[in-house]
Copies of this chain bind each other. A is one copy, B any other.
């Protein structure tokens, strides 16, 4: 989607709806595929899947251009896709291949594409907040209207960097949006246990900035709230905390049996509450997309993901010369 379309309008046009639906499908199918392949033992390392939370990344990134920055988390695949990272390159990265977005050196937890404004998945909880501030400072110093979004989990909001960053964004009126993906858990600990606050967005009041709490599986709610936040940021009105209540379909990492969730909760989430299902219904009801269009997207995406997998498997592993390359620019 052209940059100007994204930037100039908060309207849910047909074109935007199609882009949104495609991105959501890409994320879902990408993650489902990774889940299956990981189970077969073909993917190395730790993998944290984003399936279930698509509406957040997509609803927010629908307002961003390549010049806008995002910071991400250990659960970063969804943010990458929504921000426009190449899917072949992402999959190959997760497979540890030389053709990966990071030449296989980063892996799932470190996929990045700075040229797309995607400043990296991050293995360190809480690391993304200050990084978003830096992108906001660049915008401020250079007097552009670029914004920065920090995606983070409910668990991460207990890390001190959350507050350090919000405060800096607030005092300097930086164009930063703090998007909380509150999936109710940080690993095996519930939000209710680990966080004293009722809502993560409640902190906005103390910092005298705007805070919103929305249903994070309602694409439209996220899209609209994010649109308002991005507009305020571009106008120089400072940061926003946007909390999106959502659900992760899989375990914390691949291999987690989720004994801390009940069966009922798990089943319910995968049915009527599902973000993609709900957006399909919305798009159909509002005549933004037809059943055929939806099906075509599904099929196109399937082909895309299949391609990414084949591409990855066919790709070579990085060779020895790469081991000590890229440690420094200069030598």
Contacts and interface: CB of A to CB of B under 8 A. Distances in A.
Interface string A193-210: 111111000110111110
Contacts of A170: 196
A163 B206 CA distance: 13
A316 interface: no
B171 A160 contact: no
Interface string A5-33: 00000000000000000000000000000
B193 A171 contact: yes
A224 to B, nearest CB: 24
Interface in A161-201: 161-164, 166-167, 170-171, 193-198
Contacts of A161: 160
Copies in the complex: 2
Contact of A207 (B166, B171, B196, B208): B196
B206 A194 contact: no
Contacts of A195: 167, 171
Contacts of A207: 196-197
A171 B194 contact: yes
A206 B203 contact: yes
A159 B130 CA distance: 13
B171 A164 contact: no
Contact of A196 (B193, B196, B208): B208
Interface string A48-62: 000000000000000
A315 interface: no
Contact of A162 (B163, B171, B194): B163
Interface of A: 158-164, 166-167, 170-171, 193-198, 202-203, 205-209
Report the 10 A-B pairs with minimum CB-CB distance, sorted nearest first.
Answer: A160-B160, A170-B196, A163-B163, A202-B206, A196-B207, A160-B164, A203-B206, A197-B206, A167-B196, A171-B196
